[in-house]
A and B are shown apart, each in its own frame.
Chain A
């Protein structure tokens, strides 16, 4: 008993005061991509060729964060630094097309749910997580939102065991053919109204497995998706920020960390 209390006293960890303070991410963290047309050399396709998942188009020049693994091979292949990754970790979007960034388009952060849903879920959201071919990285970095550092529960958001107790699904993985039926049955079991969050490149577009015959290239082929969270896997802060924006808990827009 005393040893437990002593250990507890020594462990100084407290929840990180997000969103009052922005998290400090590592120097090499790759977040929101920035495309600078003025530095881009005409006829060069190096970034598109380096991309393992065909996330980059050259004409017109754009990068689809829904396919992007944030591996940075494109940045490496671009000596004039026309394509760079910023450390902006807030990346979640409500619409699939909002994930496509180009030199002209300012990235649109996720807007809140409509008033009715936000009123229902804004202070209490229960999610059932379904891995439909996820490699366990997206799952692990969703799971850590329950640890003391992120402490998602202080916002009223929790993962639950039964879909019957849930307000929505957090789906990871490209949706394998073998999980399709179980995913749809789980969705059916969630009472109305309900939301779906697609987390990670696989759940959005199939990720590294896009086009493989055993998978379906993302969850929005089957279910209406309310929030897309890009990344491979999305950083826990990216996911938490997306969920809070969806619930209308974060009003302020961006400032660069």
Chain B
């Protein structure tokens, strides 16, 4: 059994580098294919530059049955046979490797740039962002619609290329990279204080999730267990982040189908929840709240009461606003059956988060790979089966209700004790994975240290990295005018993808 060869470890523990086996590429491919077939998901697949002629690739897979992480390495030279046709989840990872390191996966079905960095080593050389070729349809009735990078609304930039037959989209290609800030490339050279600031701004609306994944990866490498109080408060912060964003997304969905009451109510309610995070740390997005070793701000009895009281007050208001929308026939007419993602497609593409759960996949790292306080909490898995815009809205509403309960539960029984532990030196030549279930889905950080215990490689995988392809996929056969609605129902991050 090839999967036996993979090294198995758990989140919040570090793996020694020498324990992660180096397999021949074919064995790695067999193992990955088998793990994926058993329901595993590729969390990360990336190279570690070590100055040798060959490039070492590390694959990390999450096995939801056992809650364990599986890792293995392989070595490739300038080219290698692409694994994408067997394991579609790898398609963007392979493109990313080709772009940064010039190692070409031969036979990749759609080998194109991912982020268009100036320093691109890709076989296509440095290209201006948004450069084609694009997948094109031919025929006298076919037309192409190009949108972006600057498009309507207060929103990040991206380029969307639709191939249409009349009003119906046959294919959509999404080209990103405009937000590329070079986070990963510059990460390891930065002092620790700057790294933390960069992690907090990987994706602004997921500040807590990304910071949590970063902290847990570092703490695993340092062999530090944060105090129960810090772990509980981290979970409070993460759930508040989910609440604010889900409520905002539901309001945005309402706005997109011109159901203005809910758009307007949710816009305000989201702000009220962001203000609760600001009560914790002074910043509405949770900047400066988490740090390696623990939690920066303690919660006084007074603030605790304020937060619980305000959430209790918000609950009926949220229910009234959101149910109003989900019961309105005019809204359901637009939501139901629009942008359907089948469970099979979601699984093949490696979809995560709300989008995966709305297609019936039980994917939630809080339940499957629990860390911190989530090891002691029961997180209900909110799923739906229709995979359409309605399902993605419905899952969000379920999760709003779950998160309200979780925060109440956490604050109602906050453990006493210290908030901050001292983070010591990192274990040399090791690997650790931080996983946090942000509001969009699983945020994965992989940290690798060198023999001096310094960060040698750092990989960030935002849920958007997996999910943009799913959005493009659901547009097939949809009216082009449904794109904004489908887009909102996924609400993906541009900068989280572009890094």
Contact = CB atoms under 8 A, between A and B. Distances in A.
Interface of A: 3-4, 7-8, 10-11, 13, 25-30, 50-53, 69-73, 128-144, 146-149, 159, 161-163, 173-174, 176-179, 181-182, 185-186, 202, 207-209, 212-215, 232-233, 235
A128 to B, nearest CB: 8
B252 to A, nearest CB: 10
A208 B186 CA distance: 11
A136 B203 contact: yes
B52 interface: no
Interface of B: 115-119, 128-129, 149-157, 177-183, 185-186, 191, 193-194, 196-198, 200-205, 207, 248, 261, 264-265, 267-268, 270-271, 275, 278-285, 287-288, 297, 317, 320-321, 324, 327-328, 493-495, 498
A215 B268 contact: no
Contacts of B183: 209, 212
Given A182-B150, A208-B201, A149 B271 contact: yes
Contacts of B202: 135
Given A52-B196, A131-B155, A137-B205, A176 B282 contact: no
B204 A214 contact: no
Contacts of B182: 209, 212-215
A50 B193 contact: yes
Given A139-B155, A235-B284, A71 B197 contact: yes
Given A159-B154, A209-B201, 10 more contacts: A28-B297, A70-B283, A133-B495, A136-B495, A140-B285, A143-B154, A178-B117, A178-B179, A179-B179, A212-B183
Contact of B203 (A7, A135, A185): A135
Contact of B153 (A11, A50, A161, A207): A161
A143 B284 CA distance: 14
A28 B203 contact: no
List the 3 shortest-distance A-B pairs measured between CB atoms, nearest first: A137-B204, A214-B182, A28-B282
Nearest to A213: B182
B119, B202, B282, B495: most-surrounded residue (chain A CB, <10 A): B282
A48 to B, nearest CB: 11
A208 B264 contact: no
Contacts of A50: 193
B157 A182 contact: yes
B257 to A, nearest CB: 14
Contact of B267 (A144, A208, A214): A144
A69 to B, nearest CB: 6
B198 A179 contact: no
A254 to B, nearest CB: 20
29 contacts: A7-B261, A7-B324, A27-B279, A29-B278, A30-B282, A50-B193, A52-B191, A70-B283, A72-B288, A130-B157, A133-B179, A134-B179, A135-B203, A139-B156, A140-B248, A143-B154, A148-B267, A149-B268, A173-B179, A176-B179, A178-B116, A178-B180, A178-B498, A179-B129, A179-B178, A181-B128, A182-B149, A182-B178, A213-B118
A209 B198 contact: yes
A21 B324 CA distance: 33
A165 to B, nearest CB: 11
Contacts of A11: 265, 268, 317, 320-321
Given A69-B287, A208-B197, A147 B264 contact: yes
Contacts of B128: 181
A1 B244 CA distance: 27
Nearest to A185: B150
Given A147-B267, A215-B181, A131 B320 contact: no
Given A136-B204, A182-B150, A209-B181, A52 B194 contact: yes
